[in-house]
Structure 1
Amino acid sequence: MNTRVFESFSDKETFDIAFRIANNLKAKTGSVVVCLDGDLGVGKTVFAKGFGAGLGIKRDIVSPTFNIVKSYEGDKRLHHFDVYRISDISELDEIGFDEFIYDDAIVLIEWSKLIEEALPTNIIRVFISKDLEKGFDYRKIAVEGIDDEDFGN
């Protein structure tokens, strides 16, 4: 497993990076958990849209902030979580979190650091950060816990 770092200078580049990652992950069997973290306004929703498109999902991916989870069908099922509003880890039991995590699907969790103790051990971490010295639209996308072949290398 490696940590790969990508640089993006636009929303389109962030979308394309996420598309490529998801497109390569969709061939995996079983569940795949991808944890997506970064500050507010860093581009997590843009990443999620590209990720969904990479899984062959035709519907627009929207942040499930108030719903906590939305599921989409594509070439591979996607369960998209936004746990920003989870105030107590026990709320995850109420929505059947484990059923989503162990479904034969890809699970994308925004703000995963807030539910760290509920996450399985074998996950992929994506952290998006800004560096204003490199430009307003610059994003560093660090991806950890993924094999080179998951990037098409």
Structure 2
Amino acid sequence: MEFIWEAPTEAETIAFANALAQLVGPGTVLAVDGDLGAGKTRFAQAFAAAIGVPGIVNSPTYTIIKEYVGRALPFYHMDVYRLSLAEADELGLDEYFHGEGVTLVEWASIIQQILPLERLHIRIETTGPVSRKIICSPVGQKYEEWCRQLERKQLEHVTRRNRQHESKHK
């Protein structure tokens, strides 16, 4: 199963982050991949805002992990680009995956072997200067159900957007 959210604008990427944020709970793991500049950190920032993390969320490229306090859940933002699998394993990053918060891992495919058995893999692809294709591959039943819910939310979002567009042009 795979779910695709087309994001022709940055606002649509933010809409996806908002929709996803409504589903998460303790122990959620979002494994995010994409080329350099695809928008992984921008997505992480939008997601963090959607779960109530105040202030600025920066890429943890050099610090590897940053912890934030969200409205209802802690947010653990990881960037493992500069790590080997062995280094990630030694750092005990996997302890965050089963914690009280939501973990978002940028460049997750690098540490795929230590990711939890259940997770939502999100691949962000650049399709234009600001447009993105967000491909969700669920691993586990919970995340499969989330993709079905995201599909419904996307349909509702697109319908609402089209209605707004039509009402502006009448």
Coarse TM-score class (shorter-chain normalised): 0.7 to 0.9
Q: What is the aligned partner in structure 2 of residue 121 from structure 1? A: 117
Q: What is the aligned partner in structure 2 of residue 85 from structure 1? A: 82
Contact 2:10 2:131 in 1 (8 A): no
Determine if the alignment matches structure 1 residue 144 to structure 2 residue 137.
Answer: yes
Alignment length (residue pairs): 145
For the pair shown, which has the larger CA radius of gyration, 1 or 2?
2
Contact 1:19 1:52 in 2 (8 A): no
Q: What is the aligned partner in structure 1 of residue 93 from structure 2? A: 97
Q: Specify the SS of the correspondent of 1:127.
A: strand
Contact 1:24 1:151 in 2 (8 A): no
Q: What is the aligned partner in structure 1 of residue 39 from structure 2? A: 43
Determine if the alignment matches structure 1 residue 22 to structure 2 residue 21.
Answer: yes
- Structure 1 residue runs of 4+, over 6 Å off? none
Letter in 2 for 1:139: R
Which fold has the larger relative contact order, with Cα–Cα distance below 8 Å and residues 6 or more apart in sequence? 1
State TM-score, norm by structure 1. 0.86
Contact 2:85 2:111 in 1 (8 A): yes
Aligned mates of 1:113, 1:92 — CA distance in 2:
12
Determine if the alignment matches structure 1 residue 34 to structure 2 residue 27.
Answer: no
State TM-score, norm by structure 2. 0.78
Kindly state the Cα deviation for residue 150 of structure 1 after the two structures are TM-superposed.
5.9
RMSD between superposed Cα atoms in Å: 1.7
Q: 2:57 aligns with which of 61, 76, 81?
A: 61
Distance 1:12 1:149, change over 3 A: closer
Q: Specify the SS of the correspondent of 1:61.
A: coil
Kindly state the Cα deviation for residue 96 of structure 1 after the two structures are TM-superposed.
2.5
